[in-house]
Amino acid sequence: MKFGILVNEGPYQHQAADSAYLFAKAALEMGHEVPRVFFYMDGVNNANKLQEPQQDDRNVVQRWSELAESHEVDLVVCVAAALRRGIKDEILAPGFRISGLGQLVEIGVEADRLVTFGD
């Protein structure tokens, strides 16, 4: 099955960002496709490479980048939501790109299921 994923919450503050990652990873390991994860609302903060969690904690941003690299997942950050929150190209972690909300509608059309993680 082909899954699109929408992440609407930022990292560390809310479980949704972790759940989205764990879902995507599990789906890929089971042989499903996850062509794109779309980050909207506070979810855009998942792309901020300046984050430095404590060493004994998970690194939410870095593990998205690793997922993108190992499984060719397209990590798309909404431009309008990003600009509002100060997320710009120069602070994007590897694997992320900034684009428009059309990319969310597009993955909704393309995927068999679009799964939202948020409040």
Partner 1 sequence: MDEFEDDAGVIKRFMFVNRKAPHGTIYALESLEVVLISAAFDQDVSLAFLDDGVYQLRKDQDPAAVDMKNFSRTYRALEGYDIEKLYVCKDSLAERGLTEEDLVVDVEVLDRAAMARTMAEQDVVLSF
Residue-wise over 48-71: b if at least 16 C-beta within 10 A, else e? beebeeeeeeebbbebbbebbeee
One-letter identity of residue 15:
Q
Contact pick of 74, 88, 91, 94 for partner 1 (by CB under 8 A):
74
Of 22 and 105, nearer to partner 1 (C-beta) is: 105
Q: Can you point out the beta strands (E) in 1-119?
A: 2-7, 33-39, 74-78, 96-99, 113-117
Which one of the spans 19-27, 49-57, 63-71, 101-109 is the region binding partner 1 (CB under 8 A)?
101-109
Identify which of 37, 23, 54 has the alpha carbon closest to the alpha carbon of residue 93. Answer: 37
Under the binding rule (CB under 8 A), the answer on residue 15 touching partner 1 is: no
Of 90 and 119, nearer to partner 1 (C-beta) is: 119
Alpha carbon distance 42, 20 (integer Å): 14
> From the centroid of its chain, how far is CA 14?
14
Residues 35-64 that bind partner 1 (CB under 8 A): 35, 40-41
Of 58 and 112, nearer to partner 1 (C-beta) is: 112
- Please report how close the Cβ of residue 41 comes to partner 1 at its closest, in angstroms: 5
User: What residues make contact with partner 1 under the rule CB under 8 A?
Assistant: 6, 8, 35, 40-41, 74, 80-81, 100-102, 104-106, 108-110, 114, 116, 118-119
